[in-house]
Amino acid sequence: MAPPEEYRRYWRANLRYLAILLTIWFAVSFGCGILFVDQLNQFRIGGAKLGFWFAQQGSIYAFVVLIFVYVYLMNRLDAEFGVGE
C-alpha cells in the first residue's frame, strides 16, 4: 500500500472529482430536467422545449459523458500516484 500521506492525498483528489462530477450529474437531471424544467421550457432546442429535452434526452447524453470523463480523470490520478495495476 502507498504511504499514509500519499494515500490520503490520492483519496482526497478522488473525492474532489466525485463531488464535481456528481454535482453536474444532479444539475443536468434533477436540476434541468425536474426542478427548473418550467423555466428552461421557455427556451428551445430544435423543435423541443429545452427543459423537456433535458428530461428525455440531454441528461442521458450527459450521464454517458460523465462516466467517460471520470474514467479519464481516475486513470490519470492512478498513474500520478502509482497506484494503478
Partner 1 sequence: MDVQTWTYLIVGATFLLYIGIAVWARAGSTSEFYVAGGGVHPIANGMATAADWMSAASFISMAGIISFAGYDGAVYLMGWTGGYVLLALLLAPYLRKFGKFTVPDFIGDRYYSNVARTVAVICAIIVSFTYVAGQMRGVGLVFSRFLEVEINTGVYIGTVVVFFYAIMGGMKGITYTQVAQYCVLIFAYMVPAIFISLQMTDHLIPQLGFLADVNDGSGVALLDKLDQLHTELGFAEYTDGTKSTVDVFAITLALMAGTAGLPHVIVRFFTVPRVKDARISAGWALLFIAVLYTTAPAIAAFARTNLITTISERPYTELPGWFSKWEETALVAWVDKNNDGVVQYAPGPPFVGDVDQQRPAGGGARVQGASGQALLHNEPTDNPNEVYIDRDIMVLANPEIAGLPAWVIALVAAGGLAAALSTAAGLLLVISTAVSRDLMRKQIKPNMSEAEELWWARGGAAVAVLVAAYFGVNPPGFVAATVALAFGLAAASFFPAIVLGIFDRRMNRAGAVAGMVVGTVLMFGYMAVYRLGWFVEEVPAPETWWFGISPEGFGSVAMVVNLVVALVISRFTPPPPEDVQEMVETIRIPRGAGAASMH
- Asked if 34 is part of the footprint of partner 1 (rule: CB under 8 A), the reply reads yes
- Asked if 45 is part of the footprint of partner 1 (rule: CB under 8 A), the reply reads yes
How is residue 51 written as a grid cell? 427543459
- Asked if 43 is part of the footprint of partner 1 (rule: CB under 8 A), the reply reads no
- Asked if 9 is part of the footprint of partner 1 (rule: CB under 8 A), the reply reads no
User: Total number of residues binding partner 1 (CB under 8 A)?
Assistant: 43
Q: Which of 9, 13, 27, 66 binds partner 1 (CB under 8 A)?
A: 66
Which positions ≥6 away from 17 have C-beta within 8 Å?
A: 70, 73, 74, 77
- Asked if 20 is part of the footprint of partner 1 (rule: CB under 8 A), the reply reads no
Cβ-in-10-Å burial (0-12, 13-18, 19+) of 9 comes to: middle
